[in-house]
């Protein structure tokens, strides 16, 4: 009787250990399920998607510029390729990724459906952001007037196809991979730095866009309405804008 009790306890112990081993073994699968399969997307996930894609795209454009400059001139050159004054951020690509995540990240689709939707979404986002930028600030960061199959010089059919491929890779591979990497950051550290990053990015976007809006008014010979406009005229003048943002 005593031996049977000991044997039963061992069996219970091994069952418990087996459960925890299975849990640890499938940890990455659980993370992926939480990030992708459940499709519960919060502001936090939208923001980190915007930030990471914006930064990666900025560095990518810098690398491309350096290579092209070297091919054309036989020496290395460098240029800021950011869409804001201070941080390495390209908002158009960040917002494009957020659009993809919002419309494509909530449920599984066939690959060709994601490709088609991503192409349309990317083209719409690029067109809309170009239109809004020109409407608000009077500037345009890109002009496709010399590109074939362009749509009002704001996007093109070939570029939309490129958006489709990028969106497919993003939703099927990059976003799940990003979730797995970020899940390794301790929760207390992540919860501390996220609000700080949100504040910094929002401030950078606000200062950049308001300075561009003030530049448009300055080009129209309109005087500043407040002391803020006077401050912008000194610190965010045309030379500063030309040096620090791609327009």
In terms of DSSP H, where are the helices of the chain?
2-25, 27-32, 43-73, 91-104, 111-137, 157-169, 175-182, 187-219, 227-235, 238-244
Q: What is the pTM of this model?
A: 0.75
Predicted confidence (pLDDT) per residue in 97-122, tens digit: 998 899 888 777 888 999 999 999 98
Place of tokens 């010399």: 146
Q: Which of 166, 135, 141, 167 is nearest to 155 (CA)?
A: 141
**What is the C-alpha to C-alpha distance for residues 125 and 68, in angstroms, rounded to an integer?**
27
**What is the C-alpha to C-alpha distance for residues 85 and 82, in angstroms, rounded to an integer?**
7
Question: Euclidean distance between the first and final Cα of the chain, in Å?
Answer: 84
Burial of 137: CB neighbours in 10 Å, binned 0-12, 13-18, 19+: buried
**What is the C-alpha to C-alpha distance for residues 172 and 114, in angstroms, rounded to an integer?**
9
pLDDT (0 to 100) of residue 13: 41
DSSP state of 237: -
pLDDT (0 to 100) of residue 40: 60
Higher pLDDT, 155 or 96: 155
pLDDT at residue 153 tops 80: yes
Categorize the per-residue pLDDT at 142 as very low, low, confident or very high, splitting at 50, 70 and 90.
confident
Categorize the per-residue pLDDT at 16 as very low, low, confident or very high, splitting at 50, 70 and 90.
very low
Place of tokens 């804001």: 84
Burial of 101: CB neighbours in 10 Å, binned 0-12, 13-18, 19+: buried
Higher pLDDT, 21 or 198: 198
* Range picked from 3-17, 102-116, 147-161 for highest mean pLDDT: 147-161
DSSP state of 234: H
Predicted confidence (pLDDT) per residue in 74-89, tens digit: 898 888 889 899 999 9
Is residue 54 within 8 Å of residue 96, measured between CB atoms?
A: no
% of the chain beyond a pLDDT of 70: 83
Categorize the per-residue pLDDT at 37 as very low, low, confident or very high, splitting at 50, 70 and 90.
very low
Least confident stretch, 82-86, 126-130, 136-140, 188-192: 136-140
Instruction: Look over the chain and give the mean of its residue pLDDT values, rounded to a whole number.
Output: 82
pLDDT at residue 53 tops 80: yes
CB proximity list for 51: less than 8 A, separation 6 or greater: 89, 94, 197, 201
pLDDT at residue 39 tops 80: no
């Amino acid at each position: 009787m005593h031996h049977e009790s000991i044997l039963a306890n061992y069996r219970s112990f091994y069952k418990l250990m087996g459960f925890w081993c299975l849990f640890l073994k499938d940890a990455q699968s659980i993370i992926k399920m939480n990030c992708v399969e459940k499709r519960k997307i919060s502001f936090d996930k939208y923001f980190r998607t915007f930030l990471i894609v914006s930064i990666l795209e900025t560095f990518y454009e810098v690398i491309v510029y350096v290579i092209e400059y070297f091919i054309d001139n036989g020496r290395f050159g460098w240029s800021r390729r950011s869409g804001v004054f201070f941080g390495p951020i390209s908002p158009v690509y960040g917002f494009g990724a957020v659009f993809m995540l919002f419309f494509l990240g909530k449920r599984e689709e066939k690959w060709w459906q994601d490709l088609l939707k991503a192409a349309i979404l990317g083209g719409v986002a690029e067109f809309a952001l170009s239109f809004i930028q020109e409407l608000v600030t009077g500037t345009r960061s890109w002009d496709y007037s010399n590109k074939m199959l362009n749509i009002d010089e704001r996007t093109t059919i070939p570029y939309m196809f490129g958006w489709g491929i990028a969106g497919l890779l993003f939703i099927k591979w990059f976003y799940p991979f990003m979730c797995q990497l970020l899940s390794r950051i301790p929760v207390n550290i992540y919860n501390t730095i996220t609000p700080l990053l949100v504040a910094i990015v929002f401030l950078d976007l606000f200062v950049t866009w308001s300075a561009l809006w003030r530049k448009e008014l300055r080009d129209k010979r309109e005087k500043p309405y407040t002391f803020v406009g006077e401050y912008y005229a000194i610190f965010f003048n045309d030379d500063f804008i030309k040096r620090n943002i791609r327009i």
